[in-house]
Amino acid sequence: MTFTDFNFKTPLLQAIQDAGFIKPSPVQKEAIPLILEGYDVIAQAQTGTGKTAAFGLPILNLMTGNDGVEALVIVPTRELAMQVSDELYRFGKNCGFKTATVYGGTSYDKQIDRIRQAHIIVATPGRLQDLLKTNRIKLAPKFVVLDEADEMLDMGFLDEIKNIFTFLPKTRQTLMFSATMPSQIRRLAEEILQTPKTVSITKSESTNRAITQHYYVVQEHERDDALIRLIDYKNPTKCIIFCRMKKEVDRLASLLASQGFKVGALHGDMEQKQREITIRSFKQGNVDIFVATDVAARGLDVNDVSHVFNYHMPFDSESYVHRIGRTGRGGKTGEAITLVSPNELRTIKMIEKDVGTKMVTQAIPTRQEVQSSKESELIARIIDTKITPEGINLVKTLQHEIDIVAIAHMLASSIVSTQEIKGKDTIGFGLKEIDALLQRVNKARKDNQQGRRRPQQNRSRQNRDRSPKNSFHKSSNSKTQKS
Binding-site ranges for ligand ADP (CB under 6 A): 21, 23-25, 28, 45, 47-53, 301, 303, 329-331
Stretch that binds Mg ion, among 50-58, 231-239, 308-316, 318-326 (CB under 5 A): 50-58
CB 51 within 8 A of CB 43: yes
Q: Which of 256, 314, 311 is nearest to 288 (CA)?
A: 256
Among 27, 39, 44, 51, binds Mg ion (CB under 5 A): 51
Out of ligand ADP, Mg ion, none, which partner does residue 101 contact, by CB within 5 to 8 A per kind?
none
Q: Report helix, strand and coil shares of the chain as percent, to nearest 5.
A: 55, 15, 35
CA separation for the pair 306, 237 (Å, rounded): 6
Shortest distance, CB of residue 24 to ligand ADP, whole angstroms? 5
Nearer to Mg ion, 68 or 182 (CB): 182
Stretch that binds Mg ion, among 48-56, 217-225, 343-351, 381-389 (CB under 5 A): 48-56
Task: Name the residue number minimizing CB distance to ligand ADP.
Answer: 50
- DSSP letter at 326 equals T
Nearer to Mg ion, 79 or 224 (CB): 79
Shortest distance, CB of residue 137 to Mg ion, whole angstroms? 25
Q: Of residues 205-224, which lie at the interface with Mg ion (CB under 5 A)?
A: none
Shortest distance, CB of residue 278 to ligand ADP, whole angstroms? 19
Nearer to Mg ion, 177 or 216 (CB): 177
Using alpha carbons, list the distances in angstroms from residue 480 to 204, 256, 470, 474.
Answer: 32, 32, 18, 10
Q: Which of 128, 126, 125, 147 is nearest to 138 (CA)?
A: 128
CA separation for the pair 102, 121 (Å, rounded): 7
Shortest distance, CB of residue 466 to ligand ADP, whole angstroms? 26
Out of Mg ion, ligand ADP, none, which partner does residue 21 contact, by CB within 5 to 8 A per kind?
ligand ADP
Q: In what helix (H) or strand (E) does residue 265 lie, and over which residues does it extend?
A: strand 263-266
Shortest distance, CB of residue 165 to ligand ADP, whole angstroms? 22
CB 219 within 8 A of CB 267: no
Shortest distance, CB of residue 293 to ligand ADP, whole angstroms? 19
Which residues of 267-358 form beta strands (DSSP E)?
A: 289-293, 307-310, 334-340
- DSSP letter at 49 equals S
Nearer to ligand ADP, 56 or 314 (CB): 56
Residue 323 touches Mg ion, criterion: CB under 5 A? no
- Residues counted in the chain: 483
Residues within the interface to Mg ion (CB under 5 A): 51
